[in-house]
Amino acid sequence: MRDIPEASHSVVNNVAGSTAAIEVINLSKRVADASGELTILHSVDFTVQPAETLAIVGASGSGKSTLLGLLAGLDTPSTGKVILDGSDIFALDEDGRASLRKAKLGFVFQSFQLLAHLNALENVMLPMELRGEADAKEKATAMLGRVGLSSRLKHYPKYLSGGEQQRVALARAFVTEPPLLFADEPTGSLDAATGEAVIQLMFELNRERGSTLVLVTHDPSIAARCGRTITIAAGRLV
């Protein structure tokens, strides 16, 4: 596993003896709705080992995206803990969680989430610039080459196809070589061939770098390529 910047260690609340990449303990999410309270996740528990590939599957509305958002610390739970690479993320404040995400996490969204006013190269450079890395441009250029976009470096997102945008998003998520990679339906808006290329790339990068990969998918053939699948039904693991 790669080193993380010294500054990030100061915010990491290490849990003694923890070796799992991800530990989810009694995780629940309740929200207020018109009829009172809605429970989206019910006491979910599971563990993911380093370098494992895990698919999260389940019907639409079962709670998959909510779970992934909690794993990434993008949302807060009603009960329970998420321990990422030894750090209890909800014991940290918002700044601490942001530092931990920056140091350890890559996230690929279905909707790409590229910044419209930055070109492909600048989008991929951004996470390294936020970390104060000196060779951001060289690394971003190399990573965009790795995803087959050497001829698109200066293109803004609106001039890229959906598949190209998704590959930029993947390059941005992987360029810092995060030990944890989360993807929420990364091929959801792509045609079959482009989706296959993106998935192949994710697994290749996972194998090369030994990063832990957790992906939400509706596609049984993608889930079958993961080492393990967990299924959520109405907010519970089944």
Ligand X SMILES: Nc1ncnc2c1ncn2[C@@H]1O[C@H](COP(=O)(O)OP(=O)(O)OP(=O)(O)O)[C@@H](O)[C@H]1O
The residue ranges that bind ligand X (CB under 6 A) are 31, 33, 38, 40, 58, 60-66
Contact between 179 and 1 under an 8 Å Cβ cutoff? The reply is: yes
CB of residue 42 to ligand X, shortest distance in Å: 12
CB of residue 158 to ligand X, shortest distance in Å: 25
Strands 22-33 and 79-84: antiparallel
Sign of the Cα pseudo-torsion (43, 49, 51, 52, in order):
negative
Residue whose CB is less far from ligand X, 96 or 195: 195
Residue whose CB is less far from ligand X, 71 or 171: 71
CB of residue 26 to ligand X, shortest distance in Å: 18
CB of residue 48 to ligand X, shortest distance in Å: 18
Sheet with strand 105-108: strands edge to edge: 105-108, 180-184, 212-216, 53-57, 228-233, 236-237
Residue whose CB is less far from ligand X, 35 or 60: 60
Residue whose CB is less far from ligand X, 65 or 99: 65
Strands 180-184 and 22-33: unpaired
Residue whose CB is less far from ligand X, 32 or 116: 32
Contact between 223 and 229 under an 8 Å Cβ cutoff? The reply is: yes
CB of residue 22 to ligand X, shortest distance in Å: 17
Residue whose CB is less far from ligand X, 174 or 182: 182
Question: Using CA atoms, how far apart are residues 6 and 99, in angstroms rounded to an integer?
Answer: 11
CB of residue 32 to ligand X, shortest distance in Å: 8
Closest by CA to 179, choosing from 85, 73, 83, is 85
Neighbour-count burial of 95, counting CB atoms closer than 10 A to its CB (0-12 exposed, 13-18 middle, 19+ buried): exposed
Residue whose CB is less far from ligand X, 65 or 87: 65
CB of residue 229 to ligand X, shortest distance in Å: 14
Measured CA distances, 24 to 49, 80, 90, 210 (Å): 12, 8, 12, 21
Closest by CA to 205, choosing from 234, 233, 170, 164, is 170
Q: Which amino acid is at 58?
A: G
Q: Tokens 């087959």 — which residue?
A: 148
